[in-house]
Amino acid sequence: MDDRRVAIDRCKEIIELSYKDIVYSDSVEIGYDRLIRGLSALRQVIDLDQWNSFCSDYCMRHVILKHLMECPFTRRCFLKPRGYAGDAVSIDFVYFHPSVAKYIEASSKVGRRLFNCITNASGCVSIRNRKRTVARHVDRIANKIKKPHILSLACGHMREIEESNAVAEDMIGMIVGYDIDIESLRIIQNYQTHCKCIVEAVQGDIRSIVLGKKNLGKFDFVYASGLFDYLDQRMGRKLTRCMFDMLNHGGELLIPNLTPENCEIGYIEAFMDWRMVYRGGGG
């Protein structure tokens, strides 16, 4: 029998065992760990077409999906109420932001336990670390440049400014949040009520920037916290050049990106239907 077929059959067995752990044995954490490890192992040994077929033909039809949907984070990403996975509300779940606490509390016991498993795994931890890193960069820029102007591309809810000491201490001149999602921009507009600096919410897509149709001005710090998780190399290079062109003299650019070294990717793709572009150290 083909080795890849053996691997697929083995992963199906693991999903069955995980289902029993989660639903019948009150062993949610064991079942989740078994599940992500099994999916990760399979993803590494079959080609992309086989993997995508396995996700759509088997995982999406397995009864375990119904129970995984009890996790509010998994459910949000899978259902895509704004048309795409990983929207700003989904990221608020990763941040444990107070705005989503009611959804977590309303979930079942199994759902809350699954939520804790997923959001404390390495991928979500790295997203929270990324938020803190951006906030510290904002603070550092403000200590170097008086009243800096800052631009966040694909800003989401821009929660990093809630952690910035420089924003709280009125050391920022202006912050511009740029996003295609009007619902996210409404949250950004609300920051103006309690931030002393100017906060502008600008709607637009990335293609408009790359094609030169959108002139956002010049900035001392330009960053794209999660955007490059969705861009291929060609678009990423073009946008990076545009971001450099938006910098004032002495300005700084920050482009974080998720790496492929985490074992939750299989679960994210198979049961959350969330695809991203992962890059290693070489980009």
Upper half-sphere CA count for residue 40 (Cβ side, 13 Å) = 12
Upper half-sphere CA count for residue 108 (Cβ side, 13 Å) = 14
Average pLDDT over residues 74-93: 96
**Cα–Cα distance for residue pair 80/88, rounded to 1 Å:** 11
Residue pLDDT, tens place only, 102-118:
999 999 999 999 999 99
**Cα–Cα distance for residue pair 68/86, rounded to 1 Å:** 17
Residue pLDDT, tens place only, 210-257:
999 999 999 999 999 999 999 999 999 999 999 999 999 999 999 999
Measure CA of the first residue to CA of the last residue in the chain; give whole Å.
37
The pLDDT assigned to 262 comes to 86
pLDDT band at 281 (very low <50, low <70, confident <90, very high): low
**Cα–Cα distance for residue pair 244/253, rounded to 1 Å:** 7
Q: State the residue for tokens 């693991």.
A: 14
Question: In terms of DSSP bridges, do strands 247-254 and 198-203 run parallel, antiparallel, or are they unpaired?
Answer: unpaired
131: which residues sit within 8 A by CB, 6+ positions away?
95, 159, 160, 163, 225
Question: In terms of DSSP bridges, do strands 149-153 and 198-203 run parallel, antiparallel, or are they unpaired?
Answer: unpaired
Residue pLDDT, tens place only, 167-192:
999 999 999 999 999 999 999 999 98
Q: What is the pTM of this model?
A: 0.93
